[in-house]
């Protein structure tokens, strides 16, 4: 679900964007280390490097440490495209050297990479191999040894596919076995296994994407490939004041897309104190939902509103878990009932299917929910809404 109480989408020209998705990701990556692996033959075409170079420029300005591993044949093109932003001389590693010893890669390799990062925030290294499987193993072992925040596998095929052939935007460790069963390409299977090892070794997350889509994968809510994490999700919990800015961004994004009713700053601020967030691992929020009660205090009622899930995580049960948590909070507040309003058919189907034990959402008439909801509402707008009420007593 990524809509609740929708209005008709405004024309694109009329949708002011008060946020930038990139800002939140840059804050997340500040002071962290990311490892990019160009899986052969990726990187052997200059046009494939444009998105990567653009990404590295942003991360360099952000004081994010970046390590790029490429094949020896792709290294000259990569160095040429990076130009002056590359301050340290490229390193060269032999993936076969020390493979059967521990630690691997050896201390000397780690020290060489750190020396390069001290000279500048970007280090480029060549793996002396043209075998993509060898480079995959070396990149994973290096990422595990360094415990980088994120490992990015850049391979021409891009993200993983589900059984319908669509990009599987999000995969956790419990679903990796299924991903392996759907994958027939041996290199891709090797990449999936390497991602699993990296996650188990302490790498926070792994991204698999086409090198042309790496900028979108890192800096947009939609993404372009597959994000792999150890846990499905951390949990659903009430947001902290440090999350307020990110939640405001998501609400404004939903408004700009036409999924959420337009609200001013004061109205959004009124939602934040009772807003819940669903966070993916150690990364960004996957969805949000608010429980508005103050206007309906006399009736001991609450409104479920601002329910929004990032497109990347649709179908992952985020909206259901958010509503489940909000219902728990509603019971803790001793509310008699909660209600939700939507003008979108998919949202109506969502609420019509929800079951939490005896609690279920039933379609009702406008007059059966708190009268305060309709103050200032136009009758024509009310007529377009589908209204649901869930009894809690």
Domain boundaries, the chain: 31-229, 234-391
What band does 20 get if pLDDT is binned at 50, 70 and 90? low
Exposed (0-12), middle (13-18) or buried (19+): which is 15, by Cβ within 10 Å?
middle
CA-only gyration radius of the chain, Å:
24
φ and ψ at 84, to 5 degrees? Answer: -75, -15
What band does 301 get if pLDDT is binned at 50, 70 and 90? very high
- Residue 359 forms beta bridges with which residues? 356
**Residue 71 reports pLDDT greater than 90:** yes
What band does 170 get if pLDDT is binned at 50, 70 and 90? confident
In angstroms, the CA 65 to CA 56 distance is 9
Averaged pLDDT score across all residues of the chain: 88
Percent of the chain with pLDDT over 90: 60
pLDDT number for residue 369: 96
Both tokens assigned to 136: 């995959």
**Residue 3 reports pLDDT greater than 50:** no
pLDDT tens digits, residue range 72-98? 999 999 999 999 999 888 999 988 888
pLDDT tens digits, residue range 245-297? 889 988 988 888 777 878 889 999 999 999 999 887 656 788 999 999 999 99
For 179-188, 313-322, 379-388, which range has the lowest pLDDT when averaged over its residues?
313-322
pTM of the full structure: 0.73
**Residue 332 reports pLDDT greater than 70:** yes
Contact status, residue 188 vs residue 136, Cβ threshold 8 Å: no
Helix (H, G, I), strand (E, B) or coil at 111: helix
Alpha helical stretches, state H, the chain:
21-29, 50-61, 75-82, 107-119, 132-146, 173-182, 186-200, 214-219, 244-256, 265-271, 318-332, 345-353, 379-383
Among residues 1, 35, 5, the alpha carbon closest in space to that of 306 is found at 5
- Residue 209 forms beta bridges with which residues? 154
CA 174 to the chain's CA centroid: 18
Task: Count Cβ atoms below 10 Å from residue 368 Cβ, excluding itself.
Answer: 12
What band does 234 get if pLDDT is binned at 50, 70 and 90? low
Among residues 296, 318, 184, 198, the alpha carbon closest in space to that of 250 is found at 318
**In the sheet that 285-292 helps form, which strands lie side by side, from edge to edge?**
235-238, 275-279, 285-292, 301-309, 337-342, 386-391, 362-364
CA 363 to the chain's CA centroid: 33
In angstroms, the CA 226 to CA 286 distance is 14
**Residue 33 reports pLDDT greater than 60:** yes
What is the fold, at CATH topology level, of the domain defined by 234-391?
Aminopeptidase (3.40.630)
Give the list of residues 6+ apart from residue 255 with CB closer than 8 angstroms, or none: 15, 261, 262, 263
Helix (H, G, I), strand (E, B) or coil at 238: strand
Residue range 375-382: mean pLDDT, rounded: 88
pLDDT tens digits, residue range 97-140? 887 788 999 999 999 999 999 988 999 999 998 899 999 999 99
pLDDT number for residue 1: 41
What is the fold, at CATH topology level, of the domain defined by 31-229?
Carbamate kinase (3.40.1160)
Residue range 34-46: mean pLDDT, rounded: 95
**Residue 240 reports pLDDT greater than 50:** yes
Percent of the chain with pLDDT over 70: 93
What band does 14 get if pLDDT is binned at 50, 70 and 90? very low
pLDDT number for residue 12: 34
pLDDT number for residue 122: 96
Both tokens assigned to 392: 């809690």
Helix (H, G, I), strand (E, B) or coil at 347: helix
pLDDT number for residue 168: 87
Task: Count Cβ atoms below 10 Å from residue 265 Cβ, excluding itself.
Answer: 10
Both tokens assigned to 257: 């897309």
Q: How far is CA 344 from CA 249, 287, 308, 384, in A?
A: 22, 18, 13, 9
In angstroms, the CA 69 to CA 38 distance is 6
CA diameter of the chain: 75
In angstroms, the CA 56 to CA 86 distance is 10
Exposed (0-12), middle (13-18) or buried (19+): which is 51, by Cβ within 10 Å?
buried
Task: Count Cβ atoms below 10 Å from residue 182 Cβ, excluding itself.
Answer: 14
Q: What angle do CA 363, 261, 288 make, to 5 degrees?
A: 80
């Amino acid at each position: 679900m990524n809509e609740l109480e929708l209005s008709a989408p405004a024309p694109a020209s009329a949708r002011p964007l008060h946020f930038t998705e990139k800002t939140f990701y840059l804050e997340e990556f500040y002071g962290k280390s990311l490892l990019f692996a160009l899986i052969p033959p990726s990187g052997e075409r200059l046009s494939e490097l444009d998105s990567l170079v653009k990404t590295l420029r942003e991360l360099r300005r952000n004081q994010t440490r970046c390590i790029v591993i490429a094949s020896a044949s792709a290294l000259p093109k990569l160095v040429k495209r990076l130009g002056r932003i590359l301050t340290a001389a490229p390193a060269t590693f032999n993936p076969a050297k020390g493979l059967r010893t521990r630690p691997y890669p050896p201390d000397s390799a780690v020290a060489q990479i750190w020396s390069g990062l001290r000279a500048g925030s970007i280090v480029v290294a060549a793996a002396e191999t043209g075998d993509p499987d060898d480079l995959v193993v070396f990149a994973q072992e290096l990422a595990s040894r360094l415990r980088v925040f994120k490992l990015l596998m850049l391979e021409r095929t891009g993200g993983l596919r589900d059984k319908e052939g669509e990009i599987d935007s999000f995969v956790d460790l419990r679903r990796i076995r299924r991903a392996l069963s759907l994958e027939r390409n041996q290199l891709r299977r090797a990449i999936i296994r390497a991602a699993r090892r990296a996650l188990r070794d302490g790498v926070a997350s792994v991204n698999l994407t086409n090198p042309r889509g790496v900028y979108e994968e890192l800096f947009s809510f939609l993404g372009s490939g597959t994000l792999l994490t150890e846990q499905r999700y951390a949990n659903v919990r009430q947001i902290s004041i440090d999350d307020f800015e990110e939640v405001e961004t998501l609400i404004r994004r939903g408004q700009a897309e036409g999924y959420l009713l337009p609200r001013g700053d004061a109205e959004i601020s009124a939602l934040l104190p009772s807003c819940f967030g669903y966070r993916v691992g150690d990364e960004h929020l996957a969805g949000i939902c608010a429980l508005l009660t103050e206007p309906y205090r006399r009736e001991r009622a609450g409104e479920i509103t601002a329910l929004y899930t990032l497109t990347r995580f649709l179908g992952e049960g985020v909206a259901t878990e958010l509503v489940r948590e909000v219902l728990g909070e509603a019971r803790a507040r001793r509310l008699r009932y909660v209600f939700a309003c939507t003008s979108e058919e998919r949202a109506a189907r969502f609420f019509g299917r929800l079951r939490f034990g005896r609690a279920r959402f039933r379609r009702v008439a406008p007059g059966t929910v708190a009268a305060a909801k309709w103050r200032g509402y136009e009758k024509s707008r009310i007529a377009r809404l589908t209204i649901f009420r869930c009894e809690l007593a």
